[in-house]
Structure formats: structure tokens, C-alpha cells
Amino acid sequence: MHPVDLTIFILYIVGLLAFGYFFFTRNKSGDDYYVGGRNMKSYHVGLSVVATDVGGGFSIGLGGLGFVMGLSGSWMLFTGLIGAWLAAVFLIPKVKQNRAFDNAYTFPQVFEHYYSPNVAFVAAIISAIGYAGFTSSQMLAGAKLASGTFADLDQTMALYIMGTVAVAYTVLGGLKAVIYTDTIQWALLMIGLIFVGIPFAYIEIGGLEAIRATVDPEMLSLTNVSWQQLVYWAVTIIPIWFVGMTLYQRIYACHDEKTAKRAWYLAGVFEWPIMAFLGVLLGLFAKVGADQGMFEYLGAADISDTDPETGLPMLLRTVLPVGFLGVMMAAYFSAILSTADSCLMASSGNVVTDIIGRFTPFDPNSSKFVKLSQVVTLIIGALALLLAGTMTNVLDLMLDSYAFMVSGLFVPVIGALYWSKSTPTGAMTAMLVGGFTTIGLRYSGVELPYDLDPNVFGISASAISFIAVSLMTNENKND
């Protein structure tokens, strides 16, 4: 990497940490640290939502899908559009019109209101673990990006450098810093992709003629995807919009219902088609470059041995001129950080508010609460970094973390908001049955009907047990 590019990237990192420190000196309460003072604007929140949901993990993951599937990989984020708009219609009004959540910080507090503290406690554990795993996936994405771009930087060292920066920034800044910088980071990523990454890569690989001559025609269609894959994405990604702690924090951060709904509609459009096609296009270009032997000097002479998720970093490193590579590195690291910091804040919020707070109540307006939050954020960040060191695939780690949360939490939250016969016992059963079914099937090696993903069966088992147990315990209660 040229010294000019390295300088641009280092200046970006320094500026980011300085911004985090700026908010570190101004975070005085739990409202400041976890929900941004509850007065954020819709465009800030909307861009922060999409930056958090798509982020670097999906950016690198989309590049990998484009490398393997071509344009059809864009359907993954179509489920993000559906999830965002469904949440705007069916979730946000229920939360913002209920005064019980005016001072809420976390998603499990919804369960505490509708069910019981015990149900909220289990939900907090599931959410905290899931988001810690998701944080790990973003750190791994940053490591793959850095190691694929810097000549003499191996992935392990890159992981610890990127992870340390992400954790330090999040510990310092809190949610307000996260949301404000997400706006800037997402704008930087869009500008970088549209005006730098896509044009330079398109020209260097030889344009449309070279693309058509190099890849299979199905890579250029929107039908190169199985129905099982579409179902997998749908049942994994759509429900997260109803159980995602990062999203509830942003709902609470909005001043009113109208602001929150506007933010969610904006986020959906940015997910698909904008980011979906930008991401898979660069992955497709990387596939073309690899087939042309463009990356042989990097030791990737055999295309079959190339990790699809490293194709994008190798492409950027190869085609971008001096100065532009530094801009694109900053852009992608912005996307990675925008998800990592939000997920780390979510996991920390669950632990501090819903787990520690259950046994040792703290005044959320005290400086002690903020300091505890920062310490917990640091500890979870360190654990997430260690987990990332044991994983290899960004997209798999992200979707596994999603599946772990949605299989247990999605059905109970829908029941809480829309079914009057739901009970705490039904919710607890659904969380445990759904979560353990998905995890058990995923790692058992059992061949599933129609080659469907375990999450389909986890959510189904959660729904069946929730309805059955709620009806039984509801009748007992009435008796």
C-alpha cells in the first residue's frame, strides 16, 4: 500500500477516535450513552439503521455472494427492505404509542412489560450473545479487508488492529457518536463505491464485453438462486427487524413515531436496490478479475482456492490508483465500524440494563451507570475479538448470529404485540424451544427436508410451542 493511501487511512482512524473522545466527555447519563438523548433526526437514524444492518460484514459478504452467484446475490438484501418496511408498519407504532417505553433502553424491556422479568432476563441473554457474535463477524470483515489490501499484513494481526480500534471508539463514544458517525460513514461508503470503486474496477477488468466473455451468463441474471436460499434469507433477516436490539435503541432514540417510521422507510430503500447491487457488482468484478489472472501476483493463481470474501479487497488493491485506495479502505472500514459499534452497544446494553441491572439496580442518570456501561462494553468487545479469531467466514458468522436470535425471540415478540392470549410461560418455552432447535439442527449434521435451513424449523417449533403452551397456561390462569 502506497504511503499516501496509508496516510489517508491512518488520518481517518485518528479522526474517528477523536470524535469518539469528543462524545466521551459529554456522555453524562444512560440516555446519552444508549439512546442518543432520545432526540435524533430521521435522516441520521435512517442512515444509521442501514449502516448498522448492512455495514461492512454484509459489504464483504455481498462481495463474496457477487463473486459466487453474481447479480442474484442482491436478493439477500431485498429481505432487508421487506423487514424494514414491515417493522415501520407493524412494530414502530406499537412501541412509540406505548408510554411504558418512553424511558426504555433495550429490547428485552418489551418482554418485561408484556410478560415478566424472567422472560426478559432470558431474552437479554440470547440477545447479548447473538450481538456479541455479530460484533465478531464485523471484526473479521475488517481483518479480511485489511489483510487483502495491505501487502505484509496477515489476517490475525489485521483482526487485532481493526478490532481494537472498533472497541476503543465504541467504549468512548456511546450511541450518539455511533449514530452521527454512521451518517458520515455511510455517505463515505456510497461516494466511494459509486464514484471510485465501481468505475475504476469496471474499466480495469475490460468493461461489459470482458464481463460477458468471462463469467457464465447465469451470473448476470437475477434467477441464479434457489428457492431454499431465498427462504433462508427471508426467515433469517426479516425477523431481525422485530427483535434487533440495535433497532430498538434507534426507535427509542427517535423523538416520535413519525420520525422513526420515516427513518425505517429510508433505510429500506438504501438496503435494496442501492447497496444490494453496489455490493454484488464489485464482487462480480472481482470474479472477472480473478478469472483473468489479475490477482496472480498476490498468490491467487488458482481461482478455486480463492476465498470469495477476499476477492473484493484484492480487486481494490489491484485496480485503484494511489490515493483512491486509501479512500476506499476508509469507506469500507467505515461500514464495518458502523455495524461493529452498534452491535457492541446492543450487547452491552443487554448486559448492563437487563442482566446486571436486574440484580444491582443503577440510576441510569448517574455517572456510575455510564462508567459501568463503558467497562462492560470493553469486556464484551474483547471477548468478541477473541471469538473472531476462531472463525473464517464473515457471512456465515453473521447469519448464524441472526438465526440464534430470531429463532427464539421472533414469535414471542409478535405474540406480545398482537395476541392477547400469549403468556409468560408460552414465551419462555418458545424462546428455549426455538433457539435450541435451530442450534441443535445446525450442528447435528442431520439432513433436513427439502434442504431447508435449520432456522425454518426453529421458528416453526417456537411458534407451535408458544401457541400450545400459551393456550394451556392462559386457561389455567383463567380458572
Q: Is residue 6 a contact partner of residue 326, using CB atoms and an 8 Å limit?
A: yes
Bridge partner list, 40: 254
Q: Are 246 and 346 in contact (CB under 8 A)?
A: yes
Amino acid (one-letter) located at 106? T
Domains observed in the chain: 3-395 (1.20.1730.10), 419-479 (no CATH)
Tell me whether residue 63 is exposed, middle or buried, using C-beta atoms within 10 angstroms of its C-beta: 0 to 12, 13 to 18, 19 or more.
buried
- Find out whether 321 and 8 touch, Cβ atoms under 8 Å: no
CA dist., res. 261 & res. 251, Å (int): 9
- Residue 48: CA atoms inside 13 Å, Cβ hemisphere, count? 30
Task: Put residue 183 in one of left, alpha, beta given phi > 0 → left and psi -120 to 50 → alpha.
Answer: alpha
DSSP 3-state assignment of 105?
coil
195-213 as b/e: b if 16+ CB within 10 A: ebbbebbbebbeeeebbee
Residue by residue, pLDDT tens for the chain (479 residues) are: 678 877 877 887 787 778 767 766 665 655 555 655 566 677 777 877 877 776 655 567 788 899 999 999 999 999 999 999 999 999 999 999 999 998 888 899 999 999 999 999 999 998 898 888 888 887 887 777 777 666 667 778 888 887 888 888 777 766 566 667 777 777 777 777 788 889 999 999 999 999 999 999 999 999 999 999 999 899 988 998 999 888 898 898 888 999 999 999 999 998 899 889 988 999 999 999 988 888 887 776 666 666 787 788 788 888 888 777 777 677 667 667 777 877 888 898 899 889 998 888 777 777 777 788 889 989 999 998 888 888 766 667 666 777 778 899 999 999 999 999 999 999 999 999 998 999 899 888 888 998 898 999 999 999 999 999 999 998 655 44
Q: What are phi and psi of 196, to 5 degrees?
A: -125, -65
**What SS3 state is found at 40?**
strand
The CB density around residue 1, as the number of other CB atoms within 10 Å, is 18
Counts for the chain of helices (H) and strands (E), in that order? 23, 0
d(CA 244, CA 207): 40
Cα–Cα distance measured from residue 23 to residue 26, given in angstroms and rounded to the nearest whole number: 5
pLDDT value, residue 479: 46
pTM confidence score:
0.85
CA angle 463, 466, 472 (to 5 degrees): 140
CB contact at 8 A, 85 and 242: no
- C-alpha to C-alpha distance for 199 and 394, rounded to whole angstroms: 26
Question: If residue 438 lies in a helix (H) or strand (E), which one and from where to where?
Answer: helix 424-444
Size (the chain), residues: 479
Q: Where are the beta strands (DSSP E) in 357-450?
A: none
What does the alpha-carbon distance between residue 32 and residue 469 come to, in Å, rounded to a whole number? 40
Report CA Rg, the chain: 22
Check: CB of residue 190 under 8 Å from CB of residue 338.
no
CA 301 from centre of chain: 32
How many Å apart are CA 176 and CA 247, to the nearest integer? 14
